[in-house]
A and B are shown apart, each in its own frame.
Chain A
């Protein structure tokens, strides 16, 4: 039998991974990484830092790079320091942090559902957060932090509802998507109803919140969300190997020593937390979670999900979108509108490509 001939004549030399893979071993520590994924990640970090510097310079009060750097070094005072440290830095860092959170959140849900079109919006998260915020804005009349709380609770309730309704002997990705679409539709109806009942000024506030903007991000908001995002990302880092095994199907994952349900529930909680905290402070910013993981996967050509590149790409895309929204349009717009346009173009491209592939 030709296929079994290799038993005796075992080949030697390094394994052919079909792509460049490096292994670093120091003592009991051994790390494996793809050269291409590493290079793409480094390029994304460089691009993000460059874009962040540009974002700090741009504005009505245009600054030079040395001025920006000296503001961080503490050698500048007065208006430059205020503009850089108080006005622009939180917003720029917020864009990077929120973009990364959305990228990872999208990667989690796409991995769990094995569906490139699945994003946190799909399982009703964004609509839940929006509805939660509207309840606070319209019915209670709370301030920024109460709105944030409402958005988080709304997102959690929507996600929990989806999880419970889709649960039957464990969670299946496809069922989660279908149930999520239904929940989204119902919550969308609730939101419309709330806005229609509200007074005009309040409805305007609600609409602005609903567009998704980074203009409300200050140091306090940034610090609070950074804590939540850091905890969630740490959990995802621990769960990442198990998540990749789950992509093989539940039976295979179980056979390889994974307990699918606890892993999946933890990942859903982390993914929900990441999206909910961003929505809480910036409003619903769509399409980053949908597009970033897929573009990252195509750039790195890695099998399954690439978490770190997805995070970096999410950060870069959101920051770029915010620059476009603030400076490159005749009139400043909320960043959510720009991401919808960027994402819409991406979605069209994705659908056309899928349609061509299947004649």
Chain B
């Protein structure tokens, strides 16, 4: 184990009520990487992300942030280092885009410091980065799904944390908006942020992630660079899905083509096999 990693889980057992999802899980989030956690539904990937972002307290073991148990920090201290885009958030009635993005500054504010020039800069930078600057004064409930998700990302960005965790950030978006967001996350990663995302789409995970963690039944099955670990055997083992892995025609990263039942008229697929 590399002790210099800023965020890692040491031997944690996590779950809800008395239902254990993962037992004795040890996971390290490499600094400066774009880590993507993949796996079938209910494999515990979101649960792991919740534990890493201290939304869930492990029953055993501990999550370590910068050398100390994450539970030993004050809540606001963690929020200045680690940001999270949760799976679902609620926009208060009648809130404008800029007001919502401004809520991301809460960890940096106090009763007497309600709105500093740094707050203003952070909000503007976050809105520009996500392309919601022109929507500034619009009501959040009037926006499209893709716009709204970008506003939530902007709120997490306004928090200005070196670590950013994303729980299924592209679910419910159409393919164009998904790619738009993934490109944005890649930009943020290239600017030096450590990013951890839970994703459903294996091809996007392999294309945008620099480090993959594949999970099944609460355990980590494989981890490493996408080119090293995404193989037909792994996909079959993790998802139970027979497939062919070919290089992505654009990026050369591994791309997964499910075999399914090959029908008449799709004979060319047999040729690949």
Contacts and interface: CB of A to CB of B under 8 A. Distances in A.
Contacts of B103: 244-245, 248, 256
Interface in A222-263: 238, 241, 244-245, 247-249, 251-252, 254-259
Interface residues of A, number: 46
Interface string B68-112: 000000111111100111111111111111111001101101011
Interface stretch (B179-187, B211-219, B260-268): B179-187
Nearest to B105: A256
Interface in B7-44: 16-17
A254 B159 CA distance: 13
Interface stretch (B58-66, B117-125, B200-208, B234-242): B117-125
Most buried by A among B90, B127, B137: B90
Interface in A1-26: 1-7, 9-11, 14-19, 23, 25
A248 B89 contact: yes
B106 A169 contact: no
B114 A32 contact: yes
Contacts, number: 153
B180 A251 contact: no
Contacts of A3: 130-131, 150, 180, 184
A75 interface: no
Interface residues of B, number: 62
A303 B103 CA distance: 11
A249 B16 CA distance: 19
A56 B259 CA distance: 85
Nearest to A240: B111
A304 to B, nearest CB: 4
A101 to B, nearest CB: 22
Interface string B34-58: 0000000000000000000111000
Given A251-B89, A255-B156, A169 B104 contact: no
Given A18-B137, A18-B138, A304-B95, A255 B86 contact: yes
Contacts of A6: 127-129, 131, 133
B113 interface: yes
A251 B106 contact: no
Nearest to A298: B94
B96 A251 contact: no
Nearest to B79: A257
Interface string B249-263: 000000000000000
B115 A23 contact: yes
A30 B110 CA distance: 9
Nearest to B101: A15
B128 A11 contact: yes
A216 interface: no
A303 B155 CA distance: 16
B137 A4 contact: no
A251 B86 contact: yes
A255 B84 contact: yes
Contacts of B130: 3-4
Contacts of B93: 297, 303-304
B116 A254 contact: no
Most buried by A among B103, B127, B130, B159: B103
A1 B104 CA distance: 25
A302 B103 CA distance: 14
B90 A18 contact: no
Q: Which 10 A-B pairs have the closest CB atoms?
A: A18-B137, A257-B79, A3-B131, A251-B86, A303-B95, A304-B92, A255-B84, A257-B76, A32-B115, A6-B128
16 contacts: A1-B183, A3-B180, A9-B128, A18-B138, A25-B116, A31-B114, A169-B16, A241-B111, A248-B92, A251-B55, A255-B156, A256-B103, A256-B104, A257-B78, A297-B94, A303-B100
